[in-house]
Structure 1
Amino acid sequence: METTAMPSRRKRPSAPQTVAEFEKWLSRKKTDANYEFVRGRIIRKPSMKQEELFIARFLMRAFAKTQLYQQGAEMLSEGDAYVDAFRKRIPDLAVFTDEQIRAAKTGKRFMPPLAIEILSDSESQNDVLEKVQDYFDAGVQLVWYIAPKQQKIYAYSSPDDIKVYKEEDVCSAAPVVPDFQFVIRDLFQS
């Protein structure tokens, strides 16, 4: 009786289950694309669109006038923000303190005190609420969700406490950054 050898199958590596496994997977992927990782799900995050650049420029310039900026903090775009061992988000913009920026050099992971997202057409209400919850689970103090088409900012001071700013309202990042404030209309007319 002749026996035939079964072709050997390579065992496929299992999908990443932790942020550490995800980052190892991502390092092998060799891509410039941004990906978020949420409890085993790898989520491709589109980069900021050119038509949203006016929002980023306005906010970065307004933040540059604050005392926190003078103390070494920065508003950065699309930086890693770590929730826990199973979740990593990439806010469109975020304020990182000088202490956090220095700690990042040593490999410390953290979440910024202020995370800013620009609502995209592809995001569902569930997507928004999940991100907001993740940010607060990690210790964010304030989340702004900017809706360019509606010309509004939804400011979350907790997952359940939201204030909507529009038109002539003065949006303030207090108490996180007390002197970071502006009129909504100015943001969308910049």
Structure 2
Amino acid sequence: MEPVALVRRNRRSAPQTVAEFEKWLARKKTDANYEFVRGRIIKKPPMKQEELFIARFLMRAFAKTQLYQQGAELLSEGDAYVDTFRKRIPDLAIFTDEQIREAKFGKRFMPPLAIEILSDSESQNDVLEKVQDYFDAGVQLVWYIAPKQQKIYAYYSPDEIKVFKGRDLCSAAPVVPDFQFVIDDLFKA
């Protein structure tokens, strides 16, 4: 009996960089959102309908700011590039007019303010890793909104956090000083 030669299939290796990941994603032809973190492809569920009141409230409050008047936008689920090996998709983020204009020409960037809505499936490690990624990329402020607890956890650095609840006035200063509101008003929206 002659030995059987094993044929090895030419399998594509898993993406290792954001560029490789985006090529993989283009071939996948899906509308689903995926984050990419150091070789891990993480499916990101879209914002839930029961969270839309948060997005609407924040977008309307942001529309009253000077930064909005200068062309900035508070957008949902836009790509946020950390580095060559990490890409996140915040639930909401402020993008400046300059960033929006430069994106048209392929420039990649991180927003100055990233907003996440805490989901039941996120662990504390998931939250801390995401916050660290945002600050590694130059974000100046991260809000983690916890709808069930009716709180906002404002991260000014990975190690500096302030919790806003009830009648507290939450402000996006120093990023957007006039983007502020009372926490109770957000959850009554």
TM-score of the aligned structures, taking structure 1 as reference length: 0.97
In structure 2, the residue matched to 1:83 is: 82
* 1:153 counterpart = 2:159: no
Q: Which residue of 1 aligns with 2:37?
A: 38
Equivalences for 1:1-190 in 2 at 5 Å? 3=2, 6=5, 8-190=7-189
Deviations 1:66-107 (A, max 9, x none): 000000000000000000000000000000000000010110
Unaligned runs of 5+ in 1: none
Name the aligned partner's letter for residue 103 of structure 2: A
| CA distance in 2 between partners of 1:163 and 1:7 (Å) | 60
Superposition deviation, residue 3 in structure 1? 4.1
Give the paired residue count: 189
Q: Give the root-mean-square deviation of aligned CA atoms.
A: 1.0
Identity of matched residues, %: 86
**Following the alignment from structure 1 to structure 2, what is the Cα–Cα distance between the partners of residues 65 and 20?**
37
Q: Partners of 1:41 and 1:52 in 2: how far apart? A: 26
One-letter code aligned to 2:183 = I
How far residue 4 of structure 1 moved from its aligned partner, in angstroms, is: 6.2
Distance 2:73 2:4 in 1: 61
Please give the alpha-carbon distance, in whole angstroms, between the structure 1 residues aligned to 2:101 and 2:94.
14
Q: 2-side partners of 1:89 and 1:122: how far apart?
A: 17
Q: Distance in 2 between matches of 1:129 and 1:7?
A: 46
